[in-house]
Amino acid sequence: MDIATIIGLILGAALVLMAILLGGSIGAYVDMPSMMIVIGGASAATMAAYPLARYLQLPSVIMKTIFTKATNPVELVKQLVELAEIARRDGILALENAVETIEDEFLIRGIQMAVDGSDPEVIESIMETELENLMERHTAGKGLLDAYGRYAPAFGMIGTLIGLVAMLSNMDDPSAIGAGMAAALLTTLYGAMLANMMFLPLADKLALRSDEEVLIKTIIIQGVMSIQAGDNPRNVQSKLMTFVPPNQRIVEDDREAA
């Protein structure tokens, strides 16, 4: 879980609430139909743009964005070096037992193929294909959040235009103009809030998570190939450490950093 995302989402909401309360009562800012047109409209447009099964993944995409625990690349390199030591000392078949201590599904599958004696090119090609397809799925998940981030402000504008036309067609009572205009602006406000306080930051976050996961899987592929080739564990370490930011190469207990 990443505490920053939760703090960011709550902090944004708190600041907006503060700004509203300072300006007056919260009542002027809550309007059910305005919320429906923005949230419902953005949902309708996104739904029209995505197959149903993928649209229904939206909650799990959001949850994953917020709660996924990042793998520490330094820990991973250590683990791969240990596996390289076992393979070099006791033969590659000895990794059969070591597999049980591994958590990462992708690494297990790579080691399993190495133990089974698959051809190095075959292992690399299968793992690369898996990585490419993972990247495409991440792009699709990010697309879902981006779509909300684009359509929410658009429906905010549509709502405001509907409100302005209503107000302008009916200006008999000048004292109602201000209130009508305020109500019309609410949907633009909702659209801007939904996009900038939720969907766009989460889409950015998912892209970063994806980059991290690609880095982790790239390290694993390089590691498995080195282990199968019987490389010297020290060489494995220096090769894999190039993927880790220099400052983390020394301070190895800073686990949240990426």
Site for its own copies in 90-149 (CB under 8 A): 105, 122, 125-126, 129-130, 133, 136-137, 140, 143, 147
Q: Which residue has the tokens 């990443």?
A: 2
3-state secondary structure of 250: helix
Kindly tell me which of 82 and 136 has the beta carbon lying closer to its own copies.
Answer: 136
* By the rule CB under 8 A, 35 interacts with its own copies: no
φ, ψ of residue 94 in degrees (nearest 5): -65, -15
User: Which residues have CB under 8 Å from 200's CB, separation 6+?
Assistant: 145, 146, 149
The sign of the torsion formed by the CA atoms of 91, 122, 214, 2 equals negative
**Burial class of 251 by CB neighbour count within 10 A (0 to 12, 13 to 18, 19+):** exposed
* By the rule CB under 8 A, 20 interacts with its own copies: yes
Q: Which of 22, 89, 100, 121 binds its own copies (CB under 8 A)?
A: 22
* By the rule CB under 8 A, 170 interacts with its own copies: yes
Q: Which of 98, 99, 135, 197 binds its own copies (CB under 8 A)?
A: 197
As given in the structure block, the two tokens for residue 213 are 């996961």
Report DSSP letters for 15-71, one per residue.
HHHHHHHHHS-GGGG--HHHHIIIIIHHHHHHHHHS-HHHHTTHHHHHHHHHHPPPP
Q: Which of 77, 87, 195, 227 binds its own copies (CB under 8 A)?
A: 195
Kindly tell me which of 19 and 93 has the beta carbon lying closer to its own copies.
Answer: 19
Stretch that binds its own copies, among 80-88, 96-104, 250-258 (CB under 8 A): 250-258
Least distance to its own copies, CB of residue 42, Å: 9
* By the rule CB under 8 A, 202 interacts with its own copies: yes
* By the rule CB under 8 A, 29 interacts with its own copies: yes
Q: Which residue has the tokens 């930011």?
A: 245
Q: Which of 90, 168, 234, 252 binds its own copies (CB under 8 A)?
A: 168
Stretch that binds its own copies, among 76-84, 91-99, 161-169 (CB under 8 A): 161-169
Query: Integer distance in angstroms from the first to the last C-alpha of the chain?
Result: 14
Q: Which of 63, 93, 161, 229 binds its own copies (CB under 8 A)?
A: 161
* By the rule CB under 8 A, 26 interacts with its own copies: no
Closest by CA position to 96, among listed 223, 220, 227, 213: 227
* By the rule CB under 8 A, 86 interacts with its own copies: no
What whole-number distance in Å separates Cα of residue 167 and Cα of residue 220? 61
Q: Which of 138, 151, 220, 221 binds its own copies (CB under 8 A)?
A: 151
* By the rule CB under 8 A, 46 interacts with its own copies: yes
Kindly tell me which of 94 and 109 has the beta carbon lying closer to its own copies.
Answer: 109
CB 127 within 8 A of CB 221: yes
